[in-house]
């Protein structure tokens, strides 16, 4: 039997926002700064496309006896960001801290795909993101 943790909440109002990241901007740090500046506590990244020039990935490759083993990859070349999704969530036991978590898929000019858990990335010409905001500081 697998134990699942779920969370549900009643939402009276939500909103969508559109973010445009310019050339050379950080996607993860930029989203975190935007969320903190605007009091966003919880949100879902519903769409993100654009182009990247530097990408740090961290992918889980083994999980033995509760111990994760990660493989880190750095891609320093121009990539087409074809998809990204993720979330913003409050940090446990924190009144103001948040976690930005993004997974993405990107294509090399040849069409070969790379992707996974994004630790950080820098835009090339820019990126366009839609964010569904679920909870904001009052």
Domain membership of residue 129 (yes or no) is yes
Question: What per-residue confidence (pLDDT) applies to 3?
Answer: 60
Domain membership of residue 8 (yes or no) is no
Domain range for 39 is 15-136
State how far the Cα of 102 lies from the Cα of 117, in Å rounded to an integer. Answer: 6
Domain membership of residue 5 (yes or no) is no
pLDDT(29) > 90: yes
DSSP single-letter state for residue 108: -
Domain membership of residue 110 (yes or no) is yes
Q: Which of 125, 45, 46 is nearest to 79 (CA)?
A: 125
Q: Cα 86 from chain centroid?
A: 5
Instruction: Tell me what the pLDDT averaged over the chain comes to.
Output: 89
The CATH code of the domain that includes 60 is 3.30.1330.80
How many distinct structural domains can be found in the chain?
1
From the number of C-beta atoms within 10 Å of its C-beta (0-12, 13-18, 19+), residue 8 rates as exposed
Contacts of 112 (CB under 8 A, 6+ apart): none
Domain membership of residue 38 (yes or no) is yes
pLDDT(56) > 60: yes
What's the pLDDT tens digit per position in 92-118? 887 778 999 999 999 999 999 999 999
Domain membership of residue 62 (yes or no) is yes
């Amino acid at each position: 039997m697998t134990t699942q943790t779920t969370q549900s909440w009643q939402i009276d109002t939500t909103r969508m926002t559109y973010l445009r990241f310019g050339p050379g901007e950080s996607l993860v740090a930029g989203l975190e700064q935007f969320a903190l500046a605007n009091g966003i506590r919880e949100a879902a990244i519903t769409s993100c496309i654009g182009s990247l020039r530097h990408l740090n990935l961290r992918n889980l490759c083994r999980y033995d006896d509760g111990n994760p083993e990660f493989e880190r990859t750095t891609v320093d070349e121009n990539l087409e960001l074809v998809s990204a999704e993720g979330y913003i969530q409050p940090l446990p036991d924190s009144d103001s801290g948040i976690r930005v978590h993004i997974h993405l898929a990107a294509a090399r000019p040849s069409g070969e795909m790379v992707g996974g858990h994004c630790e950080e990335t820098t835009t090339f010409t820019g990126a366009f993101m839609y964010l569904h905001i679920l909870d904001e500081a009052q």
